[in-house]
Amino acid sequence: MNFVDTTEGARPPMKVIFSFDHELFFGERSGSPEKCMIEPGKALAAVAGKHDARLCFFVDAGYLDALARMVKGNGTLGSQERMFRSSLDELAGQGHELLLHVHPHWEDTVWRDGEWRFNLARFALSRFDDDGVLDIFRRQADALRLHTLDGSIHAYRAGGWAVQPFAPIGKALEAVGIFIDSSVYAGGKDSSGGAAFDFTYAPKRSVWRFQGDPAREVPEGTFLEVATSGMTVSPAYYWRLALARSGRSVGRDQYGDGVVRPVSAMSSLLDKIGKLLAPSHYCVTLDGMKAELALGEYRRARLRGQEYLVLLSHPKMLTRSSIECLDALLCLIRQNGDEVVGYGGFAALARHAH
């Protein structure tokens, strides 16, 4: 693979955020914390360390909270909790950011017969009343603060991108002292799988203030949106993916060992057909085969003169090729004089907005 950047012309340095939703799978098999989070987290940190770069991990704090509730007298969960908490402390100690990622279905999840049994009926926060949302945020933020270096949490990302309606989420974020959201991605829209969102009308920028809807700018709003960068994925990519899957070459070197969240057969079929027939939108990512698109998106962002490029990936979905692409991107970023940043750099701006 050719990693040489041929972008020409002087331009201001672009700031790049590498964000990762740090979580298990939510299907019939959750996968193990070792394979879904700890091992890929170490691989990411090793590459980042080589380039003196800092990464951003949106930690599924519901998992931490569930472990704390159910660990008593359970040796397996006790081992999981120790390993995972130690890995978070290690990431924080290396300078990586730990941020809040909320999946409320953990409220209805139980550990039975040696595995997590998920009830996804309340996958989105919209299924809870305002007091329930506030309680979830307080418990989960407290669980995560134990692992941040100074007890601060700079930003939040909604599980499944389900950040709408925002009003109860906004009250809970204010209560736990978080004023930065990073749930929106350009062109994003979904009404399936129990979590609906619509970001198609969001500003064509990376950063804006908002109040009642993260996808709608309000110049004097309380909150700051740091949007994930979106990309248009051509049908050709999904045809290549389908051919690769028919040859059973996809996913063999994926770190995670779980199964994705189920959606209805009809929704799944319609989604697949739509992607094979027309361009679709997704966030810029290092996940699976989409990692091969990230280098091109970086170059296009530079040509457009973007101030920020924000990637969203999942350690559980990464492959060895994903790690190679991260290494290549970090090389290009340094070569081109661009900068890897985190959400902490927006904290002063967020406080000013508040």
Return the number of other C-beta atoms located less than 10 Å from residue 110's C-beta.
12
Three-class SS string for 81-133? HHHHHHHHHHHHHCCCEEEEEECHHHHHCEEECCEEECCHHHCCHHHCCHHHH
Q: How many structural domains are present in the chain?
A: 1
The domain containing residue 190 runs over which residues? 21-353
Q: CATH code at 79?
A: 3.20.20
Distance (Å, whole) CA 101 – CA 140: 9
pLDDT digits (tens, 9 = 90+) for 20-71: 999 999 999 999 999 999 999 999 999 999 999 999 999 999 999 999 999 9
User: Does 173 fall in a domain?
Assistant: yes
The half-sphere exposure of 167 on its side-chain side, counting CA atoms within 13 A, is 4
- Count of C-beta atoms within a 10 Å radius of residue 20: 29
In a domain, 2, yes or no: no
Q: Which of 105, 104, 128 is nearest to 118 (CA)?
A: 105
Label residue 2 by pLDDT band (50, 70, 90): very low
Structure-block tokens of residue 144: 């995560």
Q: Is 9 domain-assigned?
A: no
pLDDT-above-90 percentage for the chain: 77
**pLDDT tens track for 310-350:** 999 999 999 999 999 999 999 999 999 999 999 999 987 77
Is residue 152 domain-resident? yes
185 in helix, strand or coil? strand
Residue 5 lies in a domain: no
Q: Which two tokens stand for residue 204?
A: 């064509």
Q: Write down the pLDDT at residue 274.
A: 72
Nearest by Cα to 111 from 59, 75, 141 = 75
Residue 181 lies in a domain: yes
